[in-house]
Structure 1
Amino acid sequence: MYAPDSGYADEEYTDFLDILRHKMNEATRSADLLIMGDFNAKVGEDQLLNWPGAAGRFGLGQVNHRGQMLLQFCAINDLVICNTLFNHKETRRVTWVSPDGTTKNQIDYIMIERKRRR
């Protein structure tokens, strides 16, 4: 999956999430659901209190608006962002680096159904 970046309006991002929700509904439920992609969103760290069940403590940096949208999507659709559940070195959490190397973000995520979390 590749989500619209910050150069696109929020409506485009919402449309992307709507398409994803539609594809999830079409998926065969006899198999485990695994969603991976570049979501161009920062869910940030320590989201356990704000979004219980949707994300863990080990994101990177501060949540942004698109991150809030993604967290809400996960909460509504009973998904959990797996790569925020485990403590890794920052270098392992970074999925995007600016061309000049000064900005590092985590914008790629792996999500599963919350009921599959162990």
Structure 2
Amino acid sequence: MGEGRTLFWSGGTRRRGAVVLVLNSFARKALLTFKLISSCLLRVRVEGKHGKMPVLTCYALTNEAKDEDKDDSYAFLSSELSSVPPHNYLIVLEDFNAGIANSSGLYDAANGPMAVDILNDNGKPLLNCCITHALLVTDTWFLRRDIAMQTWYSNDGKTKEMLDYIIIR
């Protein structure tokens, strides 16, 4: 890509439903492995300060996608999460197309008090996956300025939501 950046792309010739990972030259040197799981999920391992760390980048299907396709997507993610030993650090990044909320109390182990959206159909499987694999949605645990909370803005300029998350173990 120039300027010392490397682009990893999973989506063939279509931009929709693809996972993109851009690494600067420093991060590229730390890269140990790269594995494409599906067009919506890829896994890299990087050498970190505390050892080797897997990083998963995901693109979850939108609410309009078929339930079977969304279930398959989360099955791939869950399988990949299960393959990471529980004592390892883990980072999951990218676009989950999920609205999550903190009002129900069901997902308090994964979801913090700063979630800004309502729980939508994509939010439930994401939070269930987080609970199952002992993951935290970090974006919901810290107070930030309003402008930094939303990650998606509609074309009308009025609708804004938090759909992209950084999830860790």
Q: TM-score, normalising length from structure 2? A: 0.61
Corresponding residue number in structure 1 for 2:70: 13
Q: Give the Cα–Cα distance (whole angstroms) in 2 for the partners of residues 48 and 34 of structure 1.
A: 25
Tell me the SS of whatever aligns to 1:35: strand
Task: Report if aligned partners of 1:43, 1:68 keep a CA contact under 8 Å in 2.
Answer: yes
Cα pair 1:42 1:61 within 8 Å, conserved: yes
CA distance in 2, matches of 1:18, 1:47: 26
Query: How far apart, CA to CA, are the structure 2 residues paired with 1:48 and 1:55?
Result: 10
Checking the alignment, whether the CA contact within 8 Å between 1:3 and 1:16 is kept in structure 2 is: yes
What SS does the corresponding residue of 1:65 show, helix, strand or coil?
A: coil
In the TM superposition, 1:37-56 aligns within 5 A as 37-44=94-101, 46-47=102-103, 49-56=105-112
For structure 2, which runs of at least 5 residues remain unmatched after alignment?
1-57
Question: Which structure is higher in strand share?
Answer: 2
SS in 2 for 1:91: helix
Q: Distance between the aligned counterparts of 2:85 and 2:129, measured in 1? A: 20
Q: 1:53 to 1:29 in 2, by over 3 A?
A: closer
Q: Which protein is bigger by CA-based radius of gyration?
A: 2
Structure 1: runs of 5+ lacking an equivalent: 114-118
Alignment length (residue pairs): 112
1:5 Cα deviation (Å)?
1.0
In structure 1, C-alpha distance between the alignment counterparts of 2:103 and 2:90, rounded to whole Å:
22
Structure 2 partner of 1:116: none
| Distance (whole Å) between structure 2 residues aligned to residue 38 and residue 104 of structure 1 | 14
Query: C-alpha deviations, 1:40-89, integer Å up to 9, x for none?
Result: 11012x35722121110111121112112211111112111011000112
Distance 1:82 1:101 in 2: 26
Q: Deviations over 1:71-114 (max 9, x none)?
A: 1111112111011000112210111000111110001011112x
Alignment correspondent of 2:130: 74
CA-based RMSD of the aligned residues comes to 1.7
Q: CA deviation at 1:12?
A: 1.4
Range that drifts further, 95-104 or 3-12: 3-12
Aligned AA (1:65):
D
**Is the CA contact (8 Å cut-off) linking 2:100 and 2:124 kept in structure 1?**
yes
- Partner residue in 1 for 2:163: 107
Q: CA deviation at 1:30?
A: 6.4
Pick the structure with more helix per residue: 1
The alignment status of 1:2 with 2:75, answered yes or no, reads no
